[in-house]
């Protein structure tokens, strides 16, 4: 019998309480916020200001970025051009395609050094780029004020990102651990012509061209014209940027699991 089990309506309390109870609640709230409301007078008070946090007792005594809400804050990037190895991983990982690698002064004259330039009109502050950065030179800071008057000013050149770095803002310390069974770059030796392109373009200089024993030609047999050198990759230095694979003219380098 579904009809029999109709819930009894809650008896309305006395109508004087309808007035008195909310008024008491409001008075309590008023007393609580009389000294200091929860709001922050933003341009004049900032949560990242340690003195202000000491005064209002929000995470006082702690630098931002340690055990605090700011721990993984993702604001404007900071770039340390000096440690950037131009590996292009940030631009690869960017889901919004907002990172361009542009030439920066420094680096050897034959190979121009390239560093990321970020278009904040497109950036979604996902932080993939700083996760991907193998050298930790591209990080997210706690800077969140980015109002400009022209769209062109939204594009931050590497030098501008370096300025953000020079301000020594608190940075996002969270780093993504690299997986233990990461794919490595493998070589298919018969295809290699020993051209040195991979070793030349490797951003970390982890590729060394090593001599290999020369194949003795039997009489009357043609042997491929080779310089008899092969790339050997130092796995611990390799950042898995894939530059060598993309520059290899014979497509003899590939991703795979090292056995």
Partner 1 sequence: MSASLLSVSTALSSILLHGVGSILPAPLQGWLTNGNAIDALGILIFGVILLAASMLNTILLIWWERKLLGRFMDRRGAMHVGYAGLLQNFADGFKLFRKDTVRPRDADSMGFFVGPTAYLVTSLVIFAILPISTGWNSGNLPLSLLLAITIFSFAPLFIFISAWSSNNKYSLIGGMRSAAQMIAYEVPILLAIVAVVIVSGTFSLDTIVTEQQNYWYWGPLFLAMVVFVAGMLAEMERIPFDLPEAEAELVEGWNTEYGGMMFAYFMLTDYVRVLLGCFLIVLLFLGGWTMPSWVPSAWTSFPLAGIFWFMLKAYAVFTVFVWIRASLPRVRTDQLLRVGWNRMIPLSLVSIVLAAGLVLAKCVPVFGCLPNLGG
Give the interface with partner 1 as residue ranges (CB under 8 A): 19, 22-23, 25-27, 29-30, 32-34, 37-39, 41
CB 43 → partner 1: shortest distance, Å? 9
Q: How far apart are CA 259 and CA 45, in angstroms?
A: 58
Q: Give CA–CA dist 218/215, Å, rounded.
A: 9
Q: Residue 37 or residue 63: which is nearer to partner 1 going by CB? A: 37
From the CB of 39, what's the least distance to partner 1, in Å?
Answer: 5
Nearer to partner 1, 47 or 112 (CB): 47
Comparing CB distances to partner 1, the nearer of 25 and 72 is: 25
Measured from the CB atom, the residue of 19 and 82 that comes closer to partner 1 is 19
Q: Pick between residue 26 and residue 223 the one whose CB is nearest to partner 1.
A: 26
% helix, strand, coil for the chain, step of 5: 30, 15, 55
The total of other beta-carbon atoms located within 10 Å of residue 196's CB is: 13
**Dist. CA 169–CA 142, nearest whole Å:** 7
Shortest gap between Cβ of 206 and partner 1 (angstroms)? 57
Instruction: Quote the least distance from Cβ 14 to partner 1, whole Å.
Output: 14
| Separation CA 167–CA 171 (nearest Å) | 11
Minimum distance from residue 149 beta carbon to partner 1 (Å): 22
DSSP string, 122-154: T-----HHHHH-TTS-EEEBS------SSGGGG
């Amino acid at each position: 019998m579904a009809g029999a089990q109709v819930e009894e309506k809650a008896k309305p309390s006395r109508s004087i309480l309808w007035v008195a109870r909310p008024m008491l609640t409001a008075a309590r709230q008023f007393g609580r916020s009389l000294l200091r409301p929860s709001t922050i007078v933003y341009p004049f008070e900032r949560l990242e200001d340690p003195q202000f946090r000491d005064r209002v007792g929000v995470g006082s005594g702690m630098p931002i970025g340690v055990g605090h809400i700011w721990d993984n804050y993702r604001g404007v990037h900071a770039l340390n051009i000096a440690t950037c190895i131009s590996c292009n991983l940030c631009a690869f990982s960017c889901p919004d395609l907002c990172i361009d690698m542009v030439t920066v002064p420094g680096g050897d004259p034959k190979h121009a050094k390239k560093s990321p330039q970020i278009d904040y009109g497109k950036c979604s502050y996902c932080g993939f780029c700083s996760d991907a950065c193998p050298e930790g030179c591209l990080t997210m800071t706690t800077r969140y004020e980015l109002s400009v008057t022209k769209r062109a000013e939204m594009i931050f050149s590497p030098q501008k990102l370096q300025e953000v770095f020079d301000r020594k803002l608190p940075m996002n310390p969270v780093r993504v651990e690299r997986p233990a069974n990461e794919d490595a770059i493998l070589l298919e030796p018969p295809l290699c012509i020993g051209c040195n392109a991979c070793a030349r373009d490797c951003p970390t200089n982890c590729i060394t061209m090593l001599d290999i024993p020369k194949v003795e030609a039997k009489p009357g047999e043609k042997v491929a014209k080779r310089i008899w050198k092969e790339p050997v990759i130092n796995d611990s230095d390799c950042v898995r940027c894939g530059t060598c694979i993309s520059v290899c003219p014979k497509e003899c380098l590939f991703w795979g699991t090292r056995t």
